[in-house]
Amino acid sequence: MSGLYLHIPFCRKACTYCDFHFSTSLQTKPAVLEAMHAELAQRAAELNGATVETIYFGGGTPSQLTDAELKAFIDQARTLFTLTPDAEVTMEVNPDDVDAEQLAVWKSIGITRLSIGVQSFREERLQFMGRAHDAAQSRESLRLISAAGFASWTMDLIYGLPGMTMDEWNEQLDTALSFAPPHISAYCLTVESKTALDHQVSKGLVTMPGDADQAAQFERLIERLEGAGYVQYEISNFGQPGHFSRHNSSYWKGVPYLGIGPSAHSYNGTKRRWNVSHNLRYAQGISAGTTYWEEETLTPVQVTNEALLTGLRTSWGVDLSALPLDLLEARSPTVVHYRSQGLLEHSDGRLVLTKAGRAFADRIASDLFLTDDR
Ligand code: SF4
């Protein structure tokens, strides 16, 4: 096992586009945290002192936890696992939780990398998305983080917003780059089912931009960030050399990981398991000793397809020799087709998307997917 993920399912406010599992009430916090410590202990015992190279506090909003609550998880992980000396310990934070004193404390308890949910530097956009912070906090938090001396840090941005012009997107990227972040994740706004945004779109209150506008902004993103020295090592992730997310890279490479907390997923190389996305049912399941998760054993077809879906989104591509099934034997005409269109390369036993192919990553992967009868 390489990575440990801890899902902290609490947020100050519900963002309109978000379909992650979280609660805006802290009522269940004591029970959930107690259950998470219990789950961590139980599952670590099954793994028998495995080595952990990365810890990731995600959510939700981990910066909703007190310093003592965060430290308790890091301390527990240190006692249960062999933590490598250069372990990457990432925490997702929101701008409204950042100040100089807080940053110093997070660093002192062992957080090495911060992931800050900026999303936009424009007031009206933050309000539209229902973010809990304002534009001044976006800027100030970045100024403080860049001076705080963390080994690495990253910011999230959102593009493809209704009515977003290329001028606005350029301005957003200019502002982001002015803080010289070691890493940037940029996501196109998508309408997830049952979110407030979904409701607004279906009522005709919000009109989403067309695919062409979103694709043009994606192209501009790549052009601007590559021009500034960032490597697009995954479709939505850009890092300066030496600053790629080790934790997320492990997911994309198919390395086993352990996920703790409500809704958290785990993968042990053959089985995928996911905890119930409900705070109380999760906590009660753990205290009562009843099942609070579901799991499935992946078939060779599923393992191959997952490797395609995640691998094709990365700059290192898909290692064909590591797949349980011979993909080329089954999908050779599709590979030939995309190679002839200049969207896919096949060399040194790997399939890698070309620069032009990156805009079609998911479609190319699904065209290559195997089925049970191949
Ligand atoms: S802060 Fe993050 S997890 Fe919470 S609602 Fe907003 S996007 Fe979702």
Cβ of 196 less than 6 Å from ligand 1? no
User: Which atom from ligand 1 is nearest to the alpha carbon of 92?
Assistant: 2
Cβ of 64 less than 6 Å from ligand 1? no
Cβ of 58 less than 6 Å from ligand 1? no
Q: Is the pLDDT of residue 1 over 80?
A: no
Spatial separation of the C-alpha atoms in residues 235 and 230, rounded to whole Å: 12
Cβ of 110 less than 6 Å from ligand 1? no
Q: Is the pLDDT of residue 250 over 80?
A: yes
What mean pLDDT value characterizes the chain? 96
- Say if residues 47 and 277 touch (Cβ distance below 8 Å): no
Spatial separation of the C-alpha atoms in residues 229 and 183, rounded to whole Å: 11
Predicted confidence (pLDDT) per residue in 108-148, tens digit: 999 999 999 999 999 999 999 999 999 999 999 999 999 99
Cβ of 20 less than 6 Å from ligand 1? yes
Spatial separation of the C-alpha atoms in residues 235 and 361, rounded to whole Å: 8
Q: How far apart are the first and last CA of the chain?
A: 30
Distance (angstroms) between ligand 1 centre and the Cα of 64 equals: 11
Q: How confident is the model at residue 84 (pLDDT cuts 50, 70, 90)?
A: very high
Distance (angstroms) between ligand 1 centre and the Cα of 88 equals: 23
Question: Could you write out the DSSP letters of every residue in 254-318?
Answer: T--EEEESTT-EEE-SSEEEEE-S-HHHHHHHHHHT---EEEEEPPHHHHHHHHHHHHTTBSS-E
Q: Is the pLDDT of residue 163 over 90?
A: yes
Q: How confident is the model at residue 48 (pLDDT cuts 50, 70, 90)?
A: confident
Q: How confident is the model at residue 49 (pLDDT cuts 50, 70, 90)?
A: confident
The CATH 3.20.20.70 portion of the chain extends over: 3-251
* β-sheet bridge partners, residue 351: 318, 346
Nearest CA to ligand 1 atom 2: 60
Q: How confident is the model at residue 373 (pLDDT cuts 50, 70, 90)?
A: confident
Spatial separation of the C-alpha atoms in residues 72 and 18, rounded to whole Å: 28
Q: What is the DSSP letter of 357?
A: G
Mean pLDDT in residue range 42-71: 94
Q: What is the predicted pLDDT for the residue at 2?
A: 85
Does pTM top 0.85 for this prediction?
yes
Please give the C-alpha separations between residue 314 and each of 145, 152, 232, in angstroms, as whole numbers: 27, 20, 8
CATH 3.40.50.720, domain 3-251, yes or no: no
Give the start-end residues of each E strand in 123-165: 152-159
Distance (angstroms) between ligand 1 centre and the Cα of 94 equals: 9
Predicted confidence (pLDDT) per residue in 166-204, tens digit: 999 999 999 999 999 999 999 999 999 999 999 999 999
User: Which atom from ligand 1 is nearest to the alpha carbon of 131?
Assistant: 6
The CATH 1.10.10.920 portion of the chain extends over: 300-368
User: Which atom from ligand 1 is nearest to the alpha carbon of 18?
Assistant: 8
Q: What is the predicted pLDDT for the residue at 58?
A: 97
Q: What is the predicted pLDDT for the residue at 372?
A: 81
Mean pLDDT in residue range 315-326: 94
The topology (CATH level 3) of 300-368 is Arc Repressor Mutant, subunit A (1.10.10)
Predicted confidence (pLDDT) per residue in 330-349, tens digit: 899 999 999 999 999 999 99
Distance (angstroms) between ligand 1 centre and the Cα of 10 equals: 9
Distance (angstroms) between ligand 1 centre and the Cα of 4 equals: 20
Q: Is the pLDDT of residue 60 over 90?
A: yes
